[in-house]
Amino acid sequence: MKQPENFQDAMNRLEHIVRRMESGEVPLEEVVSLYEESIQLQKYCRSVLDATEEKVRILQDALPESGGDQ
């Protein structure tokens, strides 16, 4: 099972898996691996959402005379 390249990729892959399952054409042999992959993808997606470190940085020294209204 390959790692998703990015979040969009993971969401696309997850949708693809669910559609394959819904098509009813997945051989029994493949069901388990699809199940495992979908769990991994969901974990990955939730982990991206749950990241909570400090996310805002202001590059204050970039322009020292910055100011102005609005």
Partner 1 sequence: MDHIYSVSEITRNIKTILEGRFPDFFLEAEISEFRRHGSGHIYFTLKDSEALIPSVMWRSAAQSLTVSPRVGDRVLCRGSISVYPPQGKYQFIAKTLRPAGTGDLFLAFEALKEKLRSEGLFDPARRAAIPAYPLHTAIISSPSGAALQDMLRVFRQDAPHIRISVYPARVQGEGSARQMIQQMQQIIASADPPDLLILGRGGGSLEDLWEFNSEDLARQIAACPIPVISAVGHETDFSISDFVADHRASTPTAAAELCVRSWKEVPDILNYSESRFYDALLRVMDRSRRDLDSLMQRHGFRKHSDLLKQQHLQIDTLKQRLKRAADQQLHNTDRQLNAILENIRILSPNRTLARGFAINRDSEGRIIRRAEQLAPGQNLVSEYPDGFVHSTVDRTEAKSDHETA
End-to-end CA distance of the chain: 50
Kindly state whether residue 49 participates in binding partner 1, applying the rule CB under 8 A.
yes
Q: Compute the distance between CA of residue 43 and CA of residue 52 in angstroms, rounded to an integer.
A: 16
The amino acid occupying position 61 is D
Residues from 15 through 44 that contact partner 1 (CB under 8 A): 15-19, 21-22, 24, 26, 28-29, 31-32, 35-36, 38-39, 42
CB of 37 to partner 1, least distance (A): 11
Contact 44, 4 (CB under 8 A): yes
At which residue do the structure tokens 């470190």 appear?
53
**Given the rule CB under 8 A, which residues bind partner 1?**
6-8, 11, 14-19, 21-22, 24, 26, 28-29, 31-32, 35-36, 38-39, 42, 45-46, 48-52, 55-60, 62-63, 66-70
